[in-house]
Structure 1
Amino acid sequence: MSTAQPPEDRNTLEDSLDALPELSYSMELVQKVQGGEGGAMDELLERYQPRMRRIIAIKMGAKLRRQIDVEDILQEVFLIAFRKIEGLELRSKASILRWMAKIAQNVMHSKVDYFSAQKRSAGKEVSLHGLAPSSDSLEPQISAGVTSPSQRAARSELQELVDRQVERLEPADYREVILLRDYQECEWDEIGSLLERPTVAATQGLYRRAHLKLRKQMRKHLEHPE
């Protein structure tokens, strides 16, 4: 998935991520929804729900997750996606997740604004730091090869470990480059544009540094669990 030379922890991250749904069928579903077949939307959202749940949880950060459940954000994102599906343009395999992630970011900022206003009215302030700049629970069917309860539990534990360590990455660009490349599978030129990097090489350099930092965090966590 990457042309850059990745550090060791790449395998752990890849192991925690199920393959994205096959694009041609997703495109067919989008066309059906845009053509008025509302039932196809349920199937489309189900295909991307597990990955979107993880992306949303990471972007929310611990502070916002204490205020509102990941599932509430996920459902609001899906409702907005249904209303705005006509504007979706499929240009790559990352298009659907990227589109939903943008909706999620807007929803989360709205929630932060709301909770900040509530806290200010009580004489307190909620920091935006809790919202990771720009699933805790997992569906049984997200991994075709994971069938037993023990396998699902082990996979859920791995996903939780990886997601929480990605969430804690600083600076914010480290977190974003991994979300864009590994979780959303965006192309290098798109990532570079979004993160304002001048060249693909610069973007890949950022990606390598992010993975080195992630590897250190994961090693520290495993040696000294919190």
Structure 2
Amino acid sequence: MNEILFRDVWWIFAVLAVASYFVGCFNFALLISKIKHKDVRKMGSGNPGTMNMSRQFGLKIGAATLFLDMFKGGAMVLVGYFVFRGKVFAGTDFLVSDLARYVCGVCVIVGHIYPVTMKFKGGKGIASTLGMFWFALTCDYWWMFFAALGILVLTLLYIFKSEWGSMGSLFGVSLLTVAQGLIFYFRYAGELNNPYVIAVFMLLAFNCFLTWFAHRKNIVALLAGEEHRTSVRKLSHGKKES
């Protein structure tokens, strides 16, 4: 492992963070709806994300939006990982890539939810967060690809059975956050007071908070019994919801 000092690479972190934010600002839901000569922000819930795209344009378009946003969330994770792969911060056993990939990933989510290109009114960050964790966890262990896939399938099954899209999404994000948190906990059990370890846990917690905060209206509506249901059965048969 090569040792490096943060003061020597802070500018790389800054460049990656800014680049990741602007990658996050690119909204596939808006692009696809524009291709169809419509604006998803003026349709249904007005949210430029997977659920609203599925309701307005059908399940296939919704699935395409989901996977494109997932790739967006994971692409910069890989950039951060490979830029610092095989390096540790001097005097510690902390992998620089562990911090870099989540700096990149979280900045993508911030850009997706609060894009400067859309007057800071973007999507809710679920698909991009799922992609971020899927790619990041696979960087830890190759078999985590299948574990993350399993969590995604459980999330989709929950939405299919309950028809609560927002809660199913938050369920999936929370499970993935816990999974990555446990990996870091056991990896750095001997140096949990290390500032870099604390920083990466704070990034995980911040991202989880962001996605829950972005769904605050959905949570209130759900508690009031007014949350809009998403029937995957109807969408799979080409029945679009209003």
TM-score class, shorter:
0.3 to 0.5
Please report the TM-score for the alignment, with normalisation by the length of structure 1.
0.32
Higher relative contact order (CA 8 A, sep 6+): 1
